[in-house]
Amino acid sequence: MAGGYRGDEGRKTMIVSRLLGLWSILVLVWIPSTVFAVDLSEAGKAVVKLFVTHQSWDMKQPWTKNRSIKSTCTGFFVEQGILTNAHCVTDSTYIQIELPGMPDKVEAVRKAVNHQIDLALIELKDPSQRPDVTPIEFDNLPELRDKVVTVGYPTGGRQVSYTEGVVSRIDIMGYAHSGVNSLMVQTDAAINVGNSGGPVFSDSTGASIGVATQRSRNGGGIGYFIPTPVIKQFLTDIEDGRVDGVPVLGAFLQPMENPALRASVGMKDDQSGASTLVIAEGSSVSGIMDPRDVLLSIDGHQLYNDGRVPFRGDGKIGLGYHIVTHQVGDRVKLEILRKGKKKKLTVPLKELDLYIIPAMPEFETKPRYYEVGGMVFRAVEKRYIHSLGKSTPGGINEYMGVIRGEEDIDELVVIGTIFEASVNKGYGGFVKNIRVKTINGQVIKRLEDVKKAFDVKNKRKYDEIILSNRTRVVLDRKQVNEEQAGIRERYDIGD
């Protein structure tokens, strides 16, 4: 039979073949799936597991807190303490750390938090409990396709986990925790729940090149880590005992890729840059740059016509690359084109949220509100928006992305909740989440103006609230005074 085995010899050959096949399988099983170029065992001793209890504010009843929840994260020893992610310790009420060689978890406290760039420094409550481990040191910003190793405590097991991948992108990207754009590195090394706050190592040098922070919502095995330049900015920032944050320029730019657009502002063929559309009030360049100024360079680095700057040879990266490593108060040099003439400017950098509805949630602070007659007035911020569900009300949505100075308000004030009572009968939900424009004729620019407007001492019988859609809300002053205490007691409304 062609291709078959014959007699005893054939059977022996078949048995040997099967044994060889089984051996090859066994060999494959025993070959390590990950082979690292450097020994990370010593560095791994500096990586710890965090057990955190959180309790956040209730956005619908802002005088109370939600029930407590628990989470686990990763951190690691650096010279200044234990570095981790800000989101790992946000709203924390109790932090414990599992240290190598210790029979019990030990307590830790927060030392500094910067929510913008999702970094936090914590320290042991009892410094004498610090283990004898070598603090992890940081390398430089990695190169594309460099091999990296993430170390941490992802869910699914209790032992430390090592995963490897490569650097696939370096860019200015959105931080999931804060909603703010900053320098970040993308990798295909696994970063799962629990990995947050753990170190990312260079497989060639063994030094840390970042802190694991988030993974792609779209899956695909894509993770992100905070790179060394951002980490060093944070650690330098907190040396004086306070967090100033990461500065911003405050100019919103338009690309100048169209030749006619460039010619219209007097740009020459050998010039490139981006035109200023809007300048945020109170920002670094407020009162220094003008709309229609063309930004040509920052600290000697040319701007391309698409608004980006050169990065490592022929590459490009967002303008923020030359801002995020600076400290608040640092000065940067700008070269601009104003009405066809070059000008050089020196700008002191500030930290400022540029929008009427802040881009970053007001983490951990008690929500600001003012209640009268069962109506709760709120300053809109991201935590409140998230509490409303997936669909943002139109009255709020129209102010999303509005830059400071574009409207005559400092923040968006709305009626957030109405606790039903006789005094507010008939208003229900149709006046909620719409800008409060005036109260008793006074323009409401910020939440503090609401209290002042209601405290006006005059002989008015009614308080009149005008919303931005022209809806009128009228409250009887005498009735409010009569029902106020009862409303607060009935709904357990706190101060």
Name the E strands within 228-307: 251-255, 274-279, 294-298, 301-302
* More confident call, 109 vs 3: 109
Joined tokens for residue 54: 């959180």
* Model pLDDT, residue 36: 58
Please name the residues in contact with 315: beta carbons below 8 A apart, sequence gap of 6 or more: none
pLDDT at 233: 98
Per-residue model confidence (pLDDT) at position 17: 43
Q: Are residues 391 and 460 in the same domain?
A: yes
pLDDT tens, position by position, 24-47 = 333 333 333 445 567 788 888 999
pLDDT reading at 387 higher than 80: yes
Is the distance from CB of 274 to CB of 266 less than 8 angstroms?
Answer: no
The pLDDT of residue 219 is 66
Looking at residue 14, its pLDDT comes to: 43
User: Catalytic: which of 54, 71, 115, 118?
Assistant: 118
209-227 pLDDT per residue, tens: 999 999 987 767 899 999 9
Give the residue from 53, 40, 46 showing the smallest Cα distance to 88: 53
Beta-carbon contacts of 224 under 8 Å, excluding residues fewer than 6 positions away, are 173, 184, 185, 186, 187, 191, 212, 213, 214, 215, 216
Taking alpha carbons only, the member of 34, 228, 41 closest to residue 147 is 34
> Could you tell me if 56 and 119 lie in one domain?
yes
- Given a contact cutoff of 8 angstroms between Cβ atoms, the answer to whether 249 and 319 are in contact is yes
Q: Do residues 288 and 320 share a domain?
A: yes
Residue 257, domain CATH: 2.30.42.10
Whole domain around residue 305: which residue ranges? 251-348
pLDDT of residue 35: 53
Residue 326 exposed, middle or buried by CB count within 10 Å (0-12, 13-18, 19+): middle
- CA–CA separation, 244 and 236 (whole Å): 10
Concerning whether 146 is annotated as a catalytic residue, the answer is no
Instruction: Identify whether 87 is a catalytic site residue.
Output: yes
In a domain, 22, yes or no: no
Q: From residue 307, how far is each of 13, 301, 316, 350 by CA, in Å?
A: 70, 12, 10, 21
| Residue showing tokens 């690309």 | 255
In a domain, 484, yes or no: yes
Tell me whether residue 209 is in a domain. Answer: no
81 domain-assigned: yes
| 457 secondary structure, DSSP code | -
**pLDDT recorded at residue 248:** 96
pLDDT of residue 23: 34
Question: Nearest Cα to 189, choosing from 175, 200, 198, 205?
Answer: 200
Q: CA-to-CA distance for 211 and 230, rounded, in angstroms?
A: 10
> Is residue 312 located within the same domain as residue 400?
no
Residue 425 within a domain:
yes
Q: What is the pLDDT of residues 105-146, one digit of tens each?
A: 999 999 999 999 999 999 999 999 999 999 999 999 999 999
pLDDT above 60 for 241: yes
Q: Which of 87, 115, 177, 322 is catalytic?
A: 87
For 35: left if phi > 0, alpha if psi spans -120 to 50, otherwise beta; the answer is beta
Q: What is the pLDDT of residues 305-357, one digit of tens each?
A: 999 999 998 999 999 999 999 999 999 999 999 999 999 999 999 999 999 99
Q: What is the mean pLDDT of residues 453-461?
A: 85
At 392, which CATH number? 3.20.190.20
Q: Are residues 385 and 344 in the same domain?
A: no
- Range list of β-strands (E), 381-492: 413-418, 436-439, 442-443, 462-467, 472-476
Q: Is the pLDDT of residue 3 over 60?
A: no
Sign (positive/negative) of CA torsion 101, 102, 106, 111? negative
| CATH number where 66 lies | 2.40.10.120
pLDDT exceeds cutoff 70 at 15: no
- pLDDT of residue 428 exceeding 90, the answer is no
Short-list 362, 358, 374, 377, CA closest to 452: 377
**Cα(10)–Cα(320) distance, integer angstroms:** 72
Tokens coding 96: 């414990």
* Total residue length of the chain: 495
332 and 384: one domain? Answer: no
Catalytic residue (choose from 161, 178, 196, 208): 196
Mean pLDDT value of segment 406-433 = 94
* pLDDT, position 337: 98
Same domain, 389 and 481: yes
- Residue 403 is assigned to a structural domain of this protein: yes
Nearest-5° Cα angle at 71, 68 to 72:
155
pLDDT, greater one: 299 or 37 = 299
Q: How confident is the model at residue 10 (pLDDT cuts 50, 70, 90)?
A: very low
Mean pLDDT of the chain: 91
> How confident is the model at residue 318, as a pLDDT?
96
Same domain assignment for residues 316 and 428: no
Task: Specify the pLDDT at position 218.
Answer: 76
> What percentage of the chain carries pLDDT values higher than 70?
92
- Is residue 11 pLDDT above 70, yes or no? no
Active-site residue, 204 included: no
Task: Write out the two tokens for 166.
Answer: 């490569």
Percent of the chain that is helix, strand, coil (3-state, to 5)? 20, 35, 45
Name the domain boundary from 129, 147, 172: 129
Closest CA to 93 of 292, 274, 364, 310: 364
Is residue 310 helix, strand or coil? strand
Same domain, 389 and 484: yes
Distance separating alpha carbons of residues 85 and 73, to the nearest angstrom: 8
DSSP structure class, residue 231: H
Q: How far apart are CA 97 and CA 339, in angstroms?
A: 59
Structural domain total, the chain: 3
